[in-house]
Amino acid sequence: MALLRLTYKLTRKENEASAMFKSGELGDELLALKSEMSRLLSMPAEEVFESARNKSEAVVDQIKATLSELGETLSKEEEHVERLIAERPMAALASAFAIGIAIGFMLRRH
């Protein structure tokens, strides 16, 4: 019964939205949202769960790929920094000292 009321309200809201937003991006987005909600509400719960699980697995795969790329990039940059420090140890030491002094001054003021 609640599903029927919600579907009725969505249909009524769609008609109002159609009248209010005949053109424009906002109207298109509202109609797309209404369409997606109607589709989700008409699906059985198991299909909604399966759809959500598939989408979440896709997001997890994208995150894993991104983290893998980030790890590769960081390892390359780490090697580059190590090589720079090995080539110029006095400049690296002076830089670290200067950064330490700057951080010390900033912490003392707060």
- pTM higher than the cut 0.75: no
Give one word for 24, left, alpha or beta, with left for phi > 0 and alpha for psi -120 to 50. Answer: left
Per-residue pLDDT tens over the stretch 40-60 = 777 777 877 888 888 899 999
Per-residue pLDDT tens over the stretch 18-39 = 555 556 788 888 888 888 888 7
Per-residue CA distances from 87 to 33, 78, 81, 95 (Å) = 58, 14, 10, 14
- pLDDT of amino acid 69: 93
